[in-house]
Amino acid sequence: MNITGLTRALRPLLALLSIGGFASAARTRQKEGPITVAVAVTDLVPIVKAVGGGQVEAVNLFKGCILRKDLQVEPPAAARLTAAEAIVWTGFLNESAAISTVLRAGGAATGRPADPKWIDVSKGTIRTNLPTSTCTGYVDPAYAAGDPFFWLNPENGGRIARNLAKGFGDLRPASRAAFMANAEAFQKALANDIVRWKAALKPLHGMRVFSAQCGWQNFSAMGGPAFVVCKGTPGELPSPNALLMHIKQMKADFILVDPNTPQDYVEALREHSNLKVVEVPSSIEDVRGGTSYSALFDNLVRILQSQAKP
C-alpha cells in the first residue's frame, strides 16, 4: 500500500483518536473548580466542608431519620443532586435507593444519565450492636452490619475524614495532598475534643440512659454513661406502653428524647415512667448555633453532666 492509501485507511482511526483527545481534554476541564457534593447525612456536612475546604459545595439531601421507609431526597436538593460530582453516603441502602430514584429520573429527563462518584464514608469505621436487633431480638438483614449511626461515635470521625479526602482526591488529583492535610488537621482537633469528652464523662460511669432516638448507643464508646435503646422494628419505637415496660426492665436513670420524638411518646414517658425526660438533639441541624461536628457532642456532654446525681 502506498503512502496515500495508508493515509486514507488510517483517516477514520485518526479522527477517532482526535475525538478521544478532545473528550479527554473536556473531562480534564470538567475536573476544575469546586466539587458539588451531595451529602446523605446532615451531621457529615461539617466534615465534608472541613476536608474539602473552599473546594467543595455541599448539598444536604435528607432531613430527619434516614431509617424511614419513605425516605426521599428533599425537593430543593433534587435538582442539585443530578448535577453533583460526588455523593457522600453512609453505605446504608435506604439512602442509595432514594438517591438512585432521583438520578434515574434526572437522566431520563435530560437524556444524559448522571454518573457521580459515590464516596462511602463507612469504610473502616467501628460499628456497635453487631448485629442491630429489635427489642424482641429480630434482626433485619439491612442492619446485620451493625448500627447505621456510626458517626455518633466520635472516634469514627477521623476515618470518615480520610475516606472523604481519598474520594475528593480522586476527583481533583492536583489537590489530593491538600485534602489529606485537611483530614489530618480535622482528626487532630477531634482527638483533642475526644480526650476532653472522656475526662468529662468519666465521673458518669455507671449511669444508664434510655434513648428514645436512634444512634446514641454509639457514643457509649466515649465511656461514662451506657446508652440503652428499644425498637419495635428498625427505626421505629414500639407502642408507648410497651416502651415503658422495657424502660422499667432496663433500670434507666433518665430518658433522652429528640426534638423529632412523637409528642404522644414524650407525654407518656413524662407521665408514667417516674424518670426525668430530657430533650437532646441527635443531629447538628437541631443544635442551636451548632455548625461543627464537635458541637453535637459538646451539647450532649453538657446535658449529661447536668443530669449527674450530686
Give CA angle at 135 (130, 137), nearest 5°.
55
Burial 194-205 (b: 16+ CB within 10 A, else e): beebeebbeebe
Radius of gyration of the chain (CA): 24
Beta bridge partners of residue 57, listed in sequence order: 36
pTM of the predicted structure, to 2 decimals: 0.84
Structural domain boundaries in the chain: 33-195, 201-306
Name the CATH topology of 201-306: Rossmann fold (3.40.50)
The two domains 33-195 and 201-306 share their CATH topology (first three levels equal): yes
Would you list the DSSP string of 28-46? HHHTSSPEEEEES-GGGHH
Contacts for 33 with CB less than 8 Å, ≥ 6 apart: none
Burial class of residue 66 (count of CB atoms within 10 Å of its CB; 0-12, 13-18, 19+):
buried
How far is CA 75 from each of CA 62, 63, 147, 238, rounded to the nearest angstrom?
A: 9, 11, 28, 30
Give the C-alpha separation, 84 to 36, whole Å: 5
Q: How would you list the strands of the sheet with 208-211, edge to edge?
A: 226-228, 208-211, 254-257, 277-279
Give the N- to C-terminal CA distance of the chain in Å, as an integer.
98
Contact between residue 111 and residue 99 where contact means Cβ atoms under 8 Å apart? no
The one-digit pLDDT tens for each residue of the chain (310 residues) are: 444 444 444 444 443 344 344 333 433 444 678 999 999 999 999 999 999 999 999 999 998 878 777 899 999 999 899 999 999 999 988 899 999 999 999 887 676 667 899 999 999 999 876 555 556 555 566 666 667 899 999 999 999 999 999 999 999 999 999 999 999 999 999 999 999 999 999 999 989 999 887 788 899 899 999 888 876 666 677 888 888 888 888 888 999 999 988 999 999 999 999 999 999 999 999 999 999 999 999 999 999 999 886 6
Three-state DSSP class for residue 278: strand
Report the CATH superfamily, name and number, of domain 33-195.
Nitrogenase molybdenum iron protein domain (3.40.50.1980)
Phi, psi of 160 (to 5 degrees): -60, -45
Return the amino acid letter for 303: I
CA atoms of 274 and 268, how far apart (whole Å): 10
